[in-house]
Structure 1
Amino acid sequence: MAECGASGSGSSGDSLDKSITLPPDEIFRNLENAKRFAIDIGGSLTKLAYYSTVQHKVARVRSFDHSGKDTEQDHEPPYEISVQEEVTARLHFVKFENTYIEACLDFIKDHLVNTETKVIQATGGGAYKFKDLIEEKLQLKVDKEDVMTCLIKGCNFVLKNIPHEAFVYQKDSDPEFRFQTNHPNIFPYLLVNIGSGVSIVKVETEDRFEWIGGSSIGGGTFWGLGALLTKTKKFDELLHLASRGQHANVDMLVQDVYGGAHQTLGLSGNLIASSFGKSATADREFSREDMAKSLLHMISNDIGQLACLYARLHCLDRVYFGGFFIRGHPVTMRTITYSINFFSKGEVQALFLRHEGYLGAIGAFLKGAEQDNPNQYSWGENYAGSSGLMSSSPELCPTQRARSGTFDLLEMDRLERPLVNLPLLLDPSSYVPDTVDLTDDALARKYWLTCFEEALDGVVKRAVASQPGSVDAAERAEKFRQKYWNKLQTLRHQPFAYGTLTVRSLLDTREHCLNEFNFPDPYSKVSAAAWGRRGAVGGGGSLGAQPGDRLGPAAAW
């Protein structure tokens, strides 16, 4: 998450809107090469999507056939490594408050060099409200897209392309996020989108889905009733109040109704028998925190039960939840999860998405890019340019819960070849290539993060040495050091930021950061020299290591 500095101190939304400054290398990256745009504008947040081309160095390995030769005697290497310039496709997604939309559009207009399109795909309720502003600022025609179609397309895209996109929430676990392995067949599933109201959609294939139900009791209900009860107008402030409340002070529980007899009914005494039930008879005032917590429980339980009933009716066992009501808030996810488990007796699973806030923008972009058929490619998350899943624990980093002046980022790179499941696997959905889950194992996580931190100096030296003719290699290597160090510190506090943390994902993150600063293979010189010395150990790509690099067991990778 990148902070956006303000040069003024205006108190109104308009004055703040005019005063912010946006560093192009941190927020709207590679904007000069942007080719196509899409935008999703909700009630409070805007999600902008654009496509760009990125030129960077790529290490290519060419193998030789030395059959019949004694390569040890002739000192002929079995391969050679060459570095080539390549242009690849990248998708950028930026999320920010609507307060900053005019400043962001001005920034894009000032920094946009050229674009191939004259149209911007737009979805969300704000697509109508801000249509004239977008067309005036960007000189692009706004083409409005259906909200639900965009959500479904976006959901299908992230489920197919981002490993560990979906997770279950378990309150008492450490950490609380339990990521799911990508299933080779994501269909069918139920998508419950909780915005102002609730929409429930059955998704059967890439292009076949059906709206099967919904409710008027959703996020807007929580916001509206919460404002009346607490006099708090901001949605995130309501969530913050709820996180500090005790709903049992307001709600009537089963044990309040039946006393000790609730056990004969097979019910827990802590179950809510009547939301706000105590407020009718208690002769006292209730705190804003307790009322907000009771309200959040009431609406979340109602949505969970409704989703469960529709899932059972249509014989579905996977329910994905999205929409601005979720926002990664732990109480919301816990209550919905509990409700689903309770009413389905564990047969239906409540799943949440790391990038649920981007679904509409991704879908709108895909609608505008249909002629290029982006679904024929595989895409991978670029960890170097993505914010990652923010922590829901207030004690870890309180500023991460603040929305004002912050921007969330997601970047995805097009892979060279489509990814497919290995046909030799008996059950691809249950195959886990990593032997150690560092998200779950705190001791192993501390050990491996320390290994990578201690190896960083060696990697920086190798990166500079791999490009002796470059005048700015040392400067770029220092930028790599800072970025990767920051990523490692983030993963110390939020090991779930990019899904399940493994040694492989740490290596991927390092490689992404190296590529970001044009170091495709810091160990190419070492590898080439190693083959010139019999008995030497060669490193492979950016995964290799030398004894002086102090990477410890990671050298085995």
Structure 2
Amino acid sequence: MKRVIGVDAGSTLTKLVYKEDGRMHYKKFLTNDHLFIRQLLKLDPVDSVVVTGGRADLWRDMKNVPLHEFDAVTLGTRELLKQEGNSLDEFILVNIGTGTSFFRVKKDEYERVLGSGIGGGMFMGLGRRLTGVTDFEDLAGLAEEGTRKNSDLLVGDIYREEEVGIAPHLTASNFGKPPSSAESPGDQLRSLTNMMAETMILLSMSIAPQTSKPFLVFVGNGVEGNAALQEDLGSFREWLKYTPLFPDKGGYAGALGAYIQGLNSQNGH
């Protein structure tokens, strides 16, 4: 059987999924690392390479099978959920890459309903402008250490809860407090992740099925490894009644979907 490699070539990161020596491998590198790509192009020509993502054109010199990125990410997400015992018939899929796509997924079909420029690219770009930090992991770590109460104007800063019936820690105005010596770079980043989460949750719930507690599944490199964003994405469930899920290896959903498609093609499916 030919070896299959699933590739998700995003605008910032390229992800690979393949099986070797009896176990699955998950790799990622900067998309503009052309030397790495040239090395990969020297792989055994009998390999079956399925490529998806916005920069799939970088792989045109390798004989490959193209796969639409929406097909890939939904296929890969279903597999990740299945591996964790969550074989859902219906859910909202939120793919947080450089930008964010929102899908309404049902048992045998899906529909991409919305897209937003609020995603990992915004976290990196605005985070860099706020703090001067350029590394994603460093930014995510700072956000996890921060508290947004020093940057955001909260409902509790204006009203008593009994006056308006709104939880005091909810946001009245993002970044609404004037700068002060108490505000750290981590506080600013935590306000940023919360602002992103608020927007993503409201957009997700606007397309969610009218069930008692819809499932919202978050994948993509913009959320994987960003504990602050994951926590913020789950912080509104008491009021909006949803169940957030963050599959392990969610940053590789597209590449995994490409890999599965390669296997299916080999098996004649």
SS at match of 2:64: strand
Counterpart-to-counterpart distance in 2, 1:374 and 1:101: 33
Does residue 350 of the first structure (1) align with residue 241 of the second (2)? no
Higher RCO (CA < 8 A, seq sep 6+): 2
| Distance change (3 Å), C-alpha of 1:326 and 1:374 | farther
Partner of 1:64: none
* RMSD value, Cα: 2.9
Q: How far has the Cα of 1:311 moved from its partner?
A: 1.5
Larger radius of gyration: 1
Q: What displacement does 1:101 show?
A: 6.6
- Residue 59 of structure 2 aligns with which residue? 131
Per the alignment, residue 117 of structure 2 pairs with 216
Contact 2:154/2:172 (<8 A) preserved: yes
User: Partner residue of 1:366?
Assistant: 260
Structure-2 residue corresponding to 1:106: 39
What displacement does 1:100 show?
Answer: 6.4
What TM-score comes out, normalization by structure 1 length?
Answer: 0.44
Distance 2:7 2:14 in 1: 7
Query: Where in structure 2 are the equivalents of 1:296-311 lying within 5 Å?
Result: 296-311=193-208
- What CA deviation, in whole Å up to 9, does each residue of 1:340-389 have, x standing for no partner? x1442x3x2111101212211111122233333488xxxxxxxxxxxxxx
Deviation at 1:227, TM superposition (A): 1.8
Tell me which residue corresponds to 1:287. 184
Tell me the equivalent position of 1:149.
71
How far apart are residue 298 of structure 1 and its match?
1.0
CA contact (8 A) 2:103 2:113 kept: yes
Query: CA offset at residue 238 of structure 1?
Result: 1.7
Contact 1:188 1:316 in 2 (8 A): no
The 8 Å contact of residues 72 and 258 in structure 2, kept in 1 or not, is answered as yes
Aligned-partner residue type, residue 306 of structure 1: L
Aligned to 1:195: 97
Structure 2 unaligned residues grouped into runs of 5+: none
Following superposition, the deviation at residue 336 of structure 1 comes to: 0.5
Structure 2 distance, partners of 1:291, 1:360, is 31
Residue 126 of structure 1 aligns with an amino acid whose one-letter code is: R
Alignment of 1:116 onto 2:46: yes
**Range with bigger deviation, 215-224 or 312-321:** 312-321
Distance 2:26 2:15 in 1: 6
Question: 3-state SS of the aligned residue for 2:246?
Answer: strand
Q: Quick one: which amino acid aligns to residue 321 of structure 1?
A: F
| Residue of structure 1 equivalent to 2:154 | 253
**Is 1:243 the counterpart of 2:144 in the alignment?**
yes
The residue type paired with residue 116 of structure 1 is V
Aligned partner of 1:297: which letter? Answer: N
Establish whether residue 39 from structure 1 lines up as the match of residue 7 from structure 2. Answer: yes
1:92 aligned onto 2:24? yes
Output the TM-score relative to the length of structure 2. 0.85
Amino acid at match of 1:222: F
1:420-456 CA deviation, whole Å, 9 max, x = no partner? xxxxxxxxxxxxxxxxxxxxxxxxxxxxxxxxxxxxx
Instruction: State the percentage of identical aligned residues.
Output: 29
CA 1:327–1:219 in 2, change beyond 3 Å: closer, same or farther? same
Alignment pair present for 1:231 and 2:132: yes
Question: 2:127 and 2:227 mapped to 1: Cα distance?
Answer: 18
Q: 1: CA distance between counterparts of 2:117 and 2:183?
A: 26
Structure 1 segments unaligned to the other structure (5+ residues) = 1-32, 55-89, 166-181, 376-557
Matched, 1:49 2:2: no
Change (3 A) 1:342 1:215: farther
CA–CA separation in structure 1 for the residues paired with 2:248 and 2:268: 21
Whole-Å Cα distance in 1 between the matches of residues 174 and 126 of structure 2? 14
Q: Deviations over 1:213-238 (max 9, x none)?
A: 23222222222222222222222222
Distance 1:34 1:325, change over 3 A: same
- Structure 1 residue 313: deviation in Å? 4.9
